[in-house]
Amino acid sequence: MITPLNIFIIIIFIVIIVAIVLTVTLTKDTTPTSEPTSTPIPTPDPSSDEGTGAIVAITGSKIYHSADNGGSWSAITADSNSAGFATLTDIAYDGTSRRVAVANNTTFSLTRTMYYSDDNTTWKPVIITAGSNVYNISLVAYGNDKWLAFGTEGTDFFITNKLYTSDDGENWSIISAPAKLFSLAYGNSIWMATASPGRGSTPVYTSSNDGASWSNVGSITSGTINALAYGVDKWVAVESNGETHTSTSTDNGANWTTGSTLGDDLNTVAYANSKWIAGGSDGDNGKIHTSVNGTSWTTVSTNFGSQIIDIIYNNDKWIAIGTTSTVVGEGTVVTGNVYYSSDNGASWTTDSSSFDALVAVS
């Protein structure tokens, strides 16, 4: 006879069995097997192509953009307001996404236009209102999370030298410049600039507070210094003055040592991938020179048109731009050239695309 007590015991027994089964199931070993897990490949951000090796080169009124490290190029002829560019003179890159291009004012208005871009195709103008006509912005550089640009304000009768500073490339402040500058660069925790040559030497200025104040720390016995670069433990400066030399400094510009003669003019110098590369011309021929120490140089035996203007290192490749001057009738036609080196400057190939006369690359 089944009594209420028996029914109660049976129910308790069933509950215990169910509890045991659930416990075994929930405590079953969930340790992953040795099969490797995979991380999903991130979807590329369409607003930025830096990961593929973007290059931007400029002419006086046009911006060329390559999203694939020189594989193909597109030309941009107007800013985001559909207005043509002013006369572009220089361009710089922050190493992440933003580029800033500066220009020459040919309208004698009370504003000076710069341009910035985060995707290399849409360029937004920045209007800088100054106290007088802005005659020319010729240099721009990036370092220590700061943009610096150099220009002159005024007309031919009264010109003042100005520096433009910005944290973001969009909003700029205007401060006094130490002199009329011909080169500007950041390295070894300082900004360095060179000024107009005078009486056989070129003044060197440095700033340790992002351009707020400058000190004339030394001079270089040379002609006009066209470019500066810092690498490893030294600064290298290149000049244009007929018999052209490089100069090196290991004490942040206080003292300089003159190097080898490398031709008539040098326009650019850069350091990357344990190599110094400088470019310019020798007579009517463009030249590229390489060095492992910034002092002894080897000239590359390649035809580089009439001259080399600018050089950068990008995505495991050196890129140089230059120009070729061709006499046509009674005039001269100047076209642009782009060259690439994938073996650290030992050999170079020429891009087959057509370019206007190029003035800078980043």
- Tens of pLDDT along 133-154? 556 899 999 999 999 999 987 7
Please tell me the distance from the alpha carbon of residue 354 to that of residue 362, in angstroms, as a whole number. Answer: 18
Instruction: Identify the H or E element spanning 241.
Output: none
The confidence score (pLDDT) of residue 344 equals 97
The confidence score (pLDDT) of residue 235 equals 98
**Which ranges in the chain belong to alpha helices (H)?**
4-26
**pLDDT for 309 beyond 90:** yes
**pLDDT for 28 beyond 60:** no
Please tell me the distance from the alpha carbon of residue 264 to that of residue 284, in angstroms, as a whole number. Answer: 9
3-state secondary structure of 290: strand
Q: Which of 145, 142, 101, 144 is closest to 123 using CA atoms?
A: 101
**pLDDT for 161 beyond 80:** yes
Please tell me the distance from the alpha carbon of residue 236 to that of residue 231, in angstroms, as a whole number. Answer: 8
Give the residue-averaged pLDDT of 244-267: 89
Confidence band for 243, pLDDT divided at 50, 70 and 90: low
Please tell me the distance from the alpha carbon of residue 55 to that of residue 67, in angstroms, as a whole number. Answer: 7
Non-local CB neighbours of 313 within 8 Å, separated by 6+ positions: 270, 272, 273, 319
Please tell me the distance from the alpha carbon of residue 119 to that of residue 113, in angstroms, as a whole number. Answer: 19
**pLDDT for 210 beyond 50:** yes
**DSSP β-bridge partners for residue 153:** 134, 160
The alpha carbon torsion through 296, 300, 301, 305 (nearest 10 deg) reads: -130
Q: Which of 313, 286, 291 is closest to 302 using CA atoms?
A: 286
- Tens of pLDDT along 78-135? 998 888 888 999 999 999 999 999 998 766 554 567 999 999 999 999 877 655 555 6
Tokens representing 246 are: 């490089």
What percent of the chain clears pLDDT 70, i.e. is strictly above it? 80
Give CA separation, 234 vs 212, 230, 237, 248, 262, in Å.
Answer: 24, 6, 10, 7, 19
